[in-house]
Structure 1
Amino acid sequence: MDEHIKIGDVAPRVQYVADGVQTSFTYPFPIFAAGDIEVTRNGAPLAGGFAITGAGASAGGSVIFDSAPAGGSAITLRRNLPVARTTDFQANGILRARTLNDELDYQVAILQEAKDGIGNALRLDPSETGITTLPLRGGRANRLLGFDSLGNVTTFARDEGLLTLNFPGAVPQTVEDKLGERLTARDFGATGDGSTDDGPSLQAAMTAAAASGKLLEIGEGTFRSSQPLHLPGAAAGLVMRGTILYAGPAGTAALTLGDAGGANNQGKRYLGLGVVRATQSDWSSEADIGIQLRNIDACQVEVARAERFTIGVQVIGDARGSEDSDLRYGRIVDNRIGLDLRTLTASAWMNSLRHHGGHFACSSTTNPWLDRFGIRLSAAAGAYTLHNAHLFLGPAFELQRQGTPGTVDAIPFLVEVDGRALTASGIRMEACSPYVARHTGGFSDARYEVAYVGTYGFLGCAVDYAGASRAGGTVVPMHQATAAVGAPRLVAAAENLRAIAFRQSIAVADGIGFDQLAVLSGNPAGSPSTLNGFCFPGLNLLTLNADDVTIPTSRAVAFVVDCSQCKEFLIAAEGSGLRPVAMQFDGAENVLGSGSPLLFSNMNTVMQGPPSYWWEGNADLDAPTGGLALNRLQRVTLHADAHYAAIGVRGSSPGAVLRSLRLYTSALDAPRLLFGAGRAWGKREYTVADVAWTVPTLAAGATATLDVTLPGVRQGDFVRAGFAQAIGFQNGGVVFHAAVGGTASTNQVRVTAQNISGGSITLGAGTLFLRAVKPRL
């Protein structure tokens, strides 16, 4: 330096906010050497990437970056000199002015830095005096630092000092009480770094939350635990923003919320719950559970994650039940059963739960040889099985069905219990089996609205009844015209059974038949084995009243349908004392026995066995269930082996009467109704055509007769005859009469040609047509 630095009254620090373009930043204070300046970006010191100019100049200089700092970053330039002597004056030596000035400049520069640092420190106002010395270590250990009534520094025990919020009506609290208002896992030493075993700390926090009745908060981070965790029901709830990484023993619940037994877990908030198993479960034990909620009542539950367990989330009804709560789901992934709603005891229940969302999924490599299910309704052995009123909104299932359909089950809903009113809306099925649900119990009323089926093509979304006692599932596929699907198709109707009755004496002399309907016997003669043998055109013991028909216990009336494609029907009847019945037949029209069970929706089925082979309901259609007429409309789900079926009603008591009967199916199907034509039942009219007859020459007033076989005709039937020739009748003088008779009264019609003219007529060859109609009764 040619001249010594002049140290002016300039602060030794300057700060800028980078704009992303500027690379040169000036500093207005002098430095002695380039190393005397400290450069930081957002508080972090920089070791390089810049050049410094102006060292030794009184006016300062610049810091020039190699590239412009990012826009918005804080750039701080500060002089930071070592506190040390830079010169040493020798005794009796020459005292040079320049050396002295440099030393004084250096000391002034250090004083400026000290002043700048003191200016940023906590300190008393220059107008005040007081005690600012901290107590000795022993006097301040495990105490709070504060200020006494004079404003001097002192210490307090945690239950001594009072704090008051700056709002009207605020009540003073101790620091301890104020800090204790909110419990967090980190208060108990949890780190959330993903590697430290935070299990003991988490459990200590949960125990404290229960003891104080407070809400526990687990903050951001991954909290590894080598032990199962339990938050007792006495705690107000749990809020999580991080995730528990469970690395503890298998065969237990990683996180249990609430208590076993009859304790009511009411009005709690469990939000942001996230539990991930450190390694994938092999699904061998159903005790391997991610999150278990016990006896919740009027609770709010939000599950962000439950992954890699046998059961992801399990809601338990123990000595009491779970009910009236809202549950939301996020990622429920790589579990054999994503959500399990389960009762454990005979006094438990599982009712009125509202479930929102959820992505129930499995990756393609997760236990690909094992069945998997999204949501299960279940009960332990001997536990209460009536699960009622569950609402699912918008669940998505991506369960990764492996191979061809049926190789591995990947089914969204598994219903193993009884109950009513399971409603699932907006279901997404991707990479699943062709079934939206499997029912194995007696569940009566489940509605599945499927919004999307994809990945492997539209394979269907039916309900699989595997050992179920009720056909309680209705599927509404949104892929079809929803309005049409919602309105069932009428297959057949006997709007007024009394009005369509007619004399049908083919089977018995005093038989009664009905248009389009077959009559069934509870003890058919001849031990029939085929459809045509069991379905009679008319039988006795049916009583025709003024407006209805009395149906005895040994008789039934039924519609006969081709069910080779459609297996689901609905039957409705008006009357009293009526029991639904159905018979099934294979493709060769052979009767099917007890090995091919069918199901009704709101009652159990009973197989009567030979010789009738009826499946019938165990209750009347007009018998109320819980005070409601739930039986009046019955879904009939036929066995997969059935190709033909007779579906109808019988009398369950001597006074049973039937007024009307209707049969429906889904609007997607149009099954054929079997009657008449080649079938003996359900027809009043019998015809025969193309009977060749060469009428002999008839003298005036003469007649000629021909006996014709007309199967089904009996004495008393209305019979008419017609005769056709290419040239027409000669003079129109021959008339044709028909009557049941001939050589026998069964299946025989005698036709008489009579010449009513005054002369001889030769008709010759022609074709005879016959029509017989059974009389109404």
Structure 2
Amino acid sequence: MPEHIRIGDIAPRVQYVADGAQNSFVYPFPVFGAGDMDVHVDGLFIAGGYAVSGAGSSEGGLVTFAVPPAAGAKVVLRRRLVMERVTDYQPNGVLRANTLNDELDRQVAALQELREDIAGALRQSPGEVGARLELPMRPARANRLLGFDSLGDVATFSRGEATLSAPFPGGVPRTVEDKLSERLSARDFGAVGDGIADDGAALQAAMNAAAASGKHLQIGEGTYRTTIPLTLPGAAAGLTMRGALLYDGAGGEAALTLGDGGAVRNRTKVYEGLRVLRNALSSWEDERDVGIVIRNQDSGLIEIRQVERFTIGVQTLGVERGFEDSVLHLGRMVDNRYGLDVRTASAGAWNTSVRYHGGHFAMSAATWPDKDRYGIRLSAAPGAYVAHNRHVFDGPAFELQSRDRPIDGIPFLVEVNSRAVIARNIRMEGCDAYVARHTGAAQDHVYEVAWASQGYGVDVDYTATATRVGSVVRAYHQAVAHRDATRTLAEVPNLRAAAIRWNATETGFEKLACLSTNVGGTPTLLQHFAFQALDSYTLTDRGVVLTGGRGLGFVVDARRCKEFALAVDADDPRMIIQCFGAGGTLLSPVDGTMVRASGMSLTYATGPRWWQGNADSNDAGLTRLQVIRLAPQVQSAIIGVARIDVDYEVRSLRLACDPSQSPPVLYGTPELPHGVRELRAELAWDPASIAAGGTAQVNVPCPGARPGDFVQAAFSLSTSGVVFLAQVGAQDVITVTAWNRSAAAIDLAAGTVRVRAVKS
């Protein structure tokens, strides 16, 4: 192995992009000592926190960080030698090869560094010769522009004479003043941006100039303190802010107003990076304390990065014209009583069809802890237009610091008669249990809550002045699959209490059809599958155990309503759906796909002739809450559960559908007599004269009546002196006895005897 470094033709610099985990980085060029390594992370020189190994090796080595650089950081390793000579050869002394080689190696390494530095410098092309590129003397170039003359040599130009052109074919020479005036800067008018000087007059002058010229105004980095309210007229093309406005003026004013009011429509404006802060926290009592007022926008693109410490953070305002069809990107909206106020100022204005993205509406814990606060308000001045329709809020987050306090902290306050307002993916931290408060005739709002801290219930608060309801909260962090089915069609909240003992061996249930997995004969109609009662149901203290071959279900009319939701409280229920067409005829897969579910696949079971879930529903947050969608040809259906693999207990069943539908639940009819505990029948009867103390009897057919049922009888005419008694004389027959308790014979006229049997 050679005793000295070999300097190959390799650049003395290497760059990496860190991944947040890697702490060792290779440098492929040689260094003489660890001190020759120069390390930069994201452009900053790093003096320590790493170790260099491999110094003195021709192949390079490793730089190992004690803490891995952050993901995405740019790591630059380069050789940087100290420019000094470290050897001295003596006359007539020994000239050792290793010493000479080391010295030559250092010279080559230094030349490589020089070449690397020159590569990034402005220089003449190798194909050109003779150009004069020296800088003019300082007095000659002071307060002038540097450029090139017609020969390509360096020259200076006065600012009034200089012209510029784009370095592309077709570029037209322009004066420097013309080029610089393309976009106005607040600094062009004397704004300082140090947070101390009063920049108000300079800022307003810049805004007036932007409006007069129709140019776009830029407010650069820094904090621009102003003691006066500012207005950017609608004639300006737009505004870009890199810094922030600090309002330090009187109360009762809007710190920044964008666009014209009145009947002027401000079309297609672009406002970017808006940041407005109030130097002192507003009292929250004066609604004229507004951070940003944006007036009469039509198809605008507006980005708000930060607004803090006002009564109203941002107000979008229709003033005799509309605020519409615009897009707002919302950022940090902190310590404002109302973060965003969507408002109209007159009867001829409107505020509608606007898309809002994001928005962090938050409070510090110490900010007015005794005062109510709201994230977004939809409002109108007295007598102003109140139909704020078709707004969409996407992904707003609210941290209002009201939970467990005697104050209101509600994300949405709706004081107008708006419709079709949709808020999606809402996050609620430390808010009230209400996502919105409605005080007027608002309806058809949809609030999708993606998260609410501690999982508390979320609702809409309708005040005493609210005249409309009909909005919905979709709590996506709580049983998403079931929240869209809000109309309860039928429910059996306690299967044990709903049990009906038909006889010694058979049991039925109120509102439910008893189902069999193996119906005998050749059944083809709905009534062949919906039984009043069956054996093999085992009752428990709270429900019923479905044993082999048994099921329970609701029978529904599906001619118009095609979507239902089934909720079951059971151990491991298996959902089933049986479909019937016109006339109650059974439908099967040969007729097409009849039904789909929300959380599982369905398969057709040929034995019971129904579709059933491919697995037990044993996840309370997902598969137990099922939405069922029926095909158009399904006219009626049985929706329920059945025992497929193992016995299990069922305790309650509920069926719901879309709130715009109210289809019948079918039970207790002559065609479908299942699901009822009480039986009734009647018979025309003209008993003969009944002697004193005597009786007369008649047998009334009553299908389903069994010995042991509670029975009653009544007659349709006056029966003074005659008592009617009833008993189950035989299966399906109730015997009615008319007993004359008086001391004289009674001849009843012809009438109707009515009977009632109640199952235990």
Q: TM-score, normalised by structure 2?
A: 0.51
Match in the other structure for 2:414: 415
Q: Which residue of 2 aligns with 1:186?
A: 187
Alpha-carbon offset, residue 143 of structure 1: 5.8
CA distance in 2, matches of 1:331, 1:256: 19
Report the Cα distance in structure 1 between the residues aligned to 2:310 and 2:143, rounded to whole angstroms: 43
Query: In 2, distance between residues paired with 1:424 and 1:402?
Result: 21
Matched with 1:95 is none
Aligned equivalents of 2:488 and 2:208: distance in 1? 63
- Per the alignment, residue 470 of structure 1 pairs with 468
2:228 paired with 1:227: yes
User: Who is 2:393 aligned against?
Assistant: 392
Distance 1:738 1:302, change over 3 A: farther
Distance in 2, matches of 1:130 and 1:418, equals 72
Contact 1:185 1:201 in 2 (8 A): yes
Contact 2:217–2:240 (CA<8 Å) still a contact in 1?
yes
Do the aligned residues in 2 keep the contact of 1:17 with 1:75 (CA within 8 Å)?
no
Matched, 1:481 2:479: yes
| 1:202 maps onto 2:212 in alignment | no
Distance 1:356 1:129 in 2: 56
Residue 203 of structure 1 aligns to a residue in which SS? helix
C-alpha displacement of 1:131 = 12
Q: Give the counterpart letter for 1:442 in structure 2.
A: A
Matches within 5 A, 1:728-739: 736-737=736-737
| CA offsets 1:319-376 (integer angstroms, 9 cap, x no match) | 1010001111111111100100010011100010011111111111100110000100
- The 3 A distance-change label for structure 1 pair 301 and 76 is farther
Alpha carbons 2:696, 2:739 under 8 Å: kept: no
* Offset from partner CA, 1:631-666 (integer Å, 9 cap, x none): xxxxxxxxxxxxxxxxxxxxxxxxxxxxxxxx9899
Task: Read off the aligned partner of 1:262 and give its amino acid letter.
Answer: A
Alpha carbons of 1:153 and 1:453: their partners in 2 closer, same or farther (altered >3 Å)?
closer
C-alpha contact 1:250 1:288 (8 A) present in aligned 2: yes
Q: Is the 8 A contact 2:444 2:470 kept in 1?
A: yes
Matches within 5 A, 1:193-592: 193-401=194-402, 403-404=404-405, 407-455=406-454, 458-491=456-489
Alpha-carbon offset, residue 397 of structure 1: 1.0
CA distance in structure 1 between the aligned counterparts of 2:190 and 2:747, rounded to whole angstroms: 104
Q: Deviations over 1:499-558 (max 9, x none)?
A: xxxxxxxxxxxxxxxxx9xxxxxxxxxxxxxxxxxxxxxxxxxxxxxxxxxxxxxxxxxx
Aligned residue number for residue 507 of structure 2: none
Structure 1 residues 283 and 720: CA distance shift in structure 2, 3 A = same
The question of whether the paired residues in 2 share the 8 Å contact of 1:323 and 1:351 is answered with: yes
Deviations 1:546-587 (A, max 9, x none): xxxxxxxxxxxxxxxxxxxxxxxxxxxx9xxxxxxxxxxxxx
Q: TM-score, normalised by structure 1?
A: 0.50
Q: Distance in 2 between matches of 1:665 and 1:465?
A: 27
Query: For the residues of structure 1 that align with 2:197 and 2:224, how far apart are their CA atoms?
Result: 8
CA distance in 2, matches of 1:720, 1:685: 22
Q: Is the Cα contact below 8 Å between 1:203 and 1:230 reproduced in 2?
A: yes
Counterpart-to-counterpart distance in 2, 1:403 and 1:381:
34
Distance between the aligned counterparts of 1:271 and 1:427, measured in 2? 24
Which amino acid counterpart does residue 298 of structure 1 have in structure 2? S
Q: Confirm or deny that 1:174 pairs with 2:158.
A: no
In 2, Cα distance between equivalents of 1:741 and 1:168: 122
Q: Which residue of 1 aligns with 2:755?
A: 771
CA displacement 1:389-410 (0-9 Å, x = unmatched): 0111111111111545xx2011
Matched to 2:433, the amino acid is: P
User: Retained in 2: the 8 A contact 1:686–1:712?
Assistant: no
Give me the whole-angstrom Cα distance separating, in 2, the residues matched to 1:264 and 1:469. Answer: 33
Q: Give ranges in structure 2 of 5+ residues lacking alignment.
A: 1-11, 16-26, 38-42, 48-74, 85-113, 492-510, 512-558, 560-654, 660-664, 669-675, 682-689, 698-710
Structure 1 residue 170: deviation in Å? 1.9
For the 8 Å contact 1:16–1:76, the answer to whether it is kept is no
Change in 2 beyond 3 A, CA 1:345/1:17: same
Task: Please say if residues 419 and 442 of structure 1, whose CA atoms lie closer than 8 Å, have aligned partners that are also in contact.
Answer: yes
Larger radius of gyration: 1
Matched, 1:704 2:702: no
> What CA distance in whole angstroms lies between the structure 2 residues aligned with 1:359 and 1:121?
46
Cα distance in 2 for partners of 1:77, 1:465 equals: 78
Residue 72 of structure 1: CA displacement?
A: 4.7
Quick one: structure 1 residues 320 and 130, their matched pair in 2 at CA, closer, same or farther if it must change by over 3 Å? closer
Give the SS at the match of 1:187: helix
Match for residue 100 of structure 2? Answer: none
Cα offset for 1:492?
Answer: 7.4
Q: Secondary structure at the match of 2:209?
A: helix
Question: Aligned pair in 2 of structure 1 residues 148, 349: CA closer, same or farther (>3 Å)?
Answer: same
Paired AA for residue 771 in structure 1 = V
Q: Distance in 2 between matches of 1:382 and 1:433?
A: 30
SS at match of 2:204: helix
Q: C-alpha distance in 2, partners of 1:378/1:742?
A: 78
Aligned-pair CA distance for 1:253? 1.3
Counterpart residue type for residue 200 of structure 2:
G
> What does the per-residue CA deviation read over 1:47-95, in whole Å, with 9 as the maximum and x for residues that have no partner?
xxxxxxxxxxxxxxxxxxxxxxx9758868679xxxxxxxxxxxxxxxx
Contact 1:741–1:750 under 8 Å retained in 2: no
Offset of residue 489 of structure 1: 2.8
Tell me the number of residue pairs that the alignment of Structure 1 and Structure 2 aligns.
Answer: 460
Question: 2:424 is matched by which residue type in structure 1?
Answer: S
Matches of 2:311 and 2:741 in 1, distance apart? 78
Residues 22 and 227 (structure 1), Cα distance of their counterparts in 2 relative to 1, 3 Å cut:
farther
Partner secondary structure for residue 203 of structure 2: helix
The amino acid that maps onto 1:483 is A
Q: Is the 8 A contact 1:452 1:479 kept in 2?
A: yes
Percent identity, aligned pairs only, is: 48
1: CA distance, partners of 2:361 / 2:221: 24
CA distance in structure 2 between the aligned counterparts of 1:351 and 1:720, rounded to whole angstroms: 73
1: CA distance, partners of 2:155 / 2:143? 13
Q: Distance in 1 between matches of 2:219 and 2:723?
A: 92
- Counterpart of 2:376 in structure 1: which amino acid? I
1:651-682 CA distance string (max 9 Å, x none)? xxxxxxxxxxxx98999xxxxx9xx9xxxxxx
Distance between the aligned counterparts of 1:340 and 1:43, measured in 2? 44
Distance 1:741 1:157 in 2: 131
Alignment partners' CA distance in 2, 1:381 and 1:43: 58
Amino acid at match of 1:417: V
The alpha-carbon distance between structure 1 residues 132 and 304, as it changes in their structure 2 partners (threshold 3 A), is closer
SS of alignment partner, residue 386 of structure 1: coil
Q: Which amino acid aligns with 2:695?
A: A
- The verdict on how the C-alpha distance between 1:121 and 1:666 changes in structure 2, with shifts beyond 3 A counting, is closer
**Distance (whole Å) between structure 1 residues aligned to residue 740 and residue 242 of structure 2:** 91
Secondary structure of the corresponding residue to residue 391 of structure 2: strand
Matched-pair contact (CA < 8 Å) for 2:423–2:446: yes
Distance change >3 Å, CA 459–CA 724, structure 1 → 2: closer
1:297 to partner: Cα distance: 0.9
- Cα contact 1:290–1:312 (8 A) shared by 2: yes
Task: Evaluate the alpha carbon distance shift between residue 338 and residue 22 of structure 1 in structure 2; reply closer, same or farther with a 3 A threshold.
Answer: farther
Amino acid at match of 2:421: L
1:219-248 Cα distance to aligned partner (Å, 9 max, x none)? 333333332222211111122222222222
State the Cα distance separating 1:720 from its structure 2 match: 12
Letter in 2 for 1:357: G
